[in-house]
Chain A
Amino acid sequence: MIFDILETGFAGITWGAVMMIIIGAVLLYLGIAKKMEPLLLVPIGFGVIISNMPLAGLMDTIVNGELYNYYIPGGEPIGFFARLFSAGLESELIPIFIFLGLGAMTDFGPIIANPKTLLLGAGAQFGVYFAFFLALVLGFNIYEAACIGIIGGADGPTTIFLTNRLAPTFIGATAVAAYTYMALVPIIQPPIIKLCTTKKERQIYMKPQLREVARKEKIIFPVIAAIIIILLVPESAPLIGMFMLGNLLRESGVTDRLADTASNAMMNMLTIALGLCVGAFMSAENFLRLDSLLVFCIGIIAFGAATAGGVFLAKLMNLFVKEKINPMIGAAGVSAVPMAARVVQKLGQEENPKNFLLMQAMGPNIAGVIGTATAAGIFLGMLQ
Chain B
Amino acid sequence: MTGVDWGQALQVGIFGFLLVVLVLATLAVCMWLVGWIFNRPFNIKNLFKRDKKPSDNSENEPEEEPEYNPQYKIDDIERYE
Contacts and interface: CB of A to CB of B under 8 A. Distances in A.
Interface of A: 111-113, 115-116, 118-119, 121-122, 125-126, 128-129, 132-133, 136, 139-142, 144-146, 211, 213-214, 216-217, 220-221, 224-225, 228-229, 232-233, 291, 367, 370-371, 374-375, 378-379, 382-383
Contacts of A379: 12, 16
A178 B37 CA distance: 40
Helix, strand, loop or mixed for chain B's interface? Answer: helix
Given A118-B27, A367-B24, A370-B24, A142 B38 contact: no
Interface in B6-43: 6, 8-9, 11-17, 19-32, 34-35, 38-39
B38 A119 contact: no
B23 A233 contact: yes
A228 B30 contact: yes
Contacts of B31: 111-112, 115, 118, 217, 221, 224
A290 to B, nearest CB: 10
For the complex of A and B, the 4 pairs showing the least CB-CB separation, nearest first, are A139-B1, A115-B28, A118-B28, A115-B31
Given A229-B23, A232-B22, A233-B19, A141 B1 contact: yes
18 contacts: A118-B24, A129-B14, A132-B9, A141-B1, A141-B2, A142-B5, A142-B8, A221-B31, A225-B27, A229-B23, A232-B19, A233-B19, A367-B24, A374-B20, A374-B23, A375-B16, A378-B20, A382-B16
A112 B6 CA distance: 39
B44 interface: no
A213 B17 CA distance: 30
The residue in B12, B17, B29 that gathers the most chain A C-beta atoms within 10 A of its C-beta is B12
A116 B27 contact: no
A20 to B, nearest CB: 23
Given A115-B32, A116-B28, A232-B26, A122 B20 contact: yes
Given A224-B31, A232-B19, 6 more contacts: A111-B31, A125-B17, A125-B20, A129-B17, A141-B1, A367-B24
B12 A374 contact: no
Contacts of B4: 136, 141-142
B28 to A, nearest CB: 4
B12 A383 contact: yes
Contacts of A116: 28, 32
Chain B interface size, under 10 / 10 to 19 / 20 to 34 / 35 or more = 20 to 34
B9 A136 contact: yes
B8 A371 contact: no
A382 B29 contact: no
A363 to B, nearest CB: 10
A119 B31 CA distance: 12
B13 A132 contact: yes
Interface in B58-79: none
Contacts of B38: 214, 216-217
Nearest to A112: B31
Nearest to B32: A115
A375 B21 CA distance: 10
A220 B36 CA distance: 13
A91 B62 CA distance: 70
Contacts of B5: 142
A242 B16 CA distance: 22
B12 A142 contact: yes
Contacts of B26: 228, 232
